[in-house]
Amino acid sequence: MMFCPQCKGLMISSGGQLKCKKCGYIREIEVSDRLKKTDKRLEKEITIVDEEEKIATLPTASIKCPECDCTTAYWWLRQLRAADESEVRFFRCTACGKTWREYD
């Protein structure tokens, strides 16, 4: 989005120009105003609960651990992607401590 240098209002594109909806300021669209397209999406770092005191307060679920076949694991949710996408559910085995994730 482009904002007006005079009144800080939102500028809209019209006929090769940017026009301020608020004060009427007009300027030509420049090459630097064009949208940039990227091929890669940068993933954010994943936060995993590591502190033993915090883990003990997490809820548990009946789910089979892929490592040791235990059927109880702590679980928590994290929003890793865009806000309009579902959260990722993390599990940590109560017996062996293996952590894995599950997507909806």
Read off the pLDDT of residues 20-65 as tens digits, 9 standing for 90 and up.
988 989 988 887 776 666 666 666 555 555 555 555 678 899 999 9
d(CA 23, CA 6): 8
Q: Write down the domain spans for the chain.
A: 2-33, 52-102
Q: Indicate the CATH number for domain 52-102.
A: 2.20.25.10
d(CA 19, CA 27): 7
d(CA 87, CA 80): 7
Single out the catalytic residue among 28, 53, 84, 104: 84
- Which has more pLDDT, 72 or 50? 72
The per-residue pLDDT for 47 is 56
pTM summary value: 0.46
Is 85 a residue of the active site? yes
Enclosing H/E stretch for 28: strand 26-28
CATH topology of domain 2-33: Ubiquitin Ligase Nedd4; Chain: W; (2.20.70)
Is 104 a residue of the active site? no
Single out the catalytic residue among 33, 85, 87, 102: 85
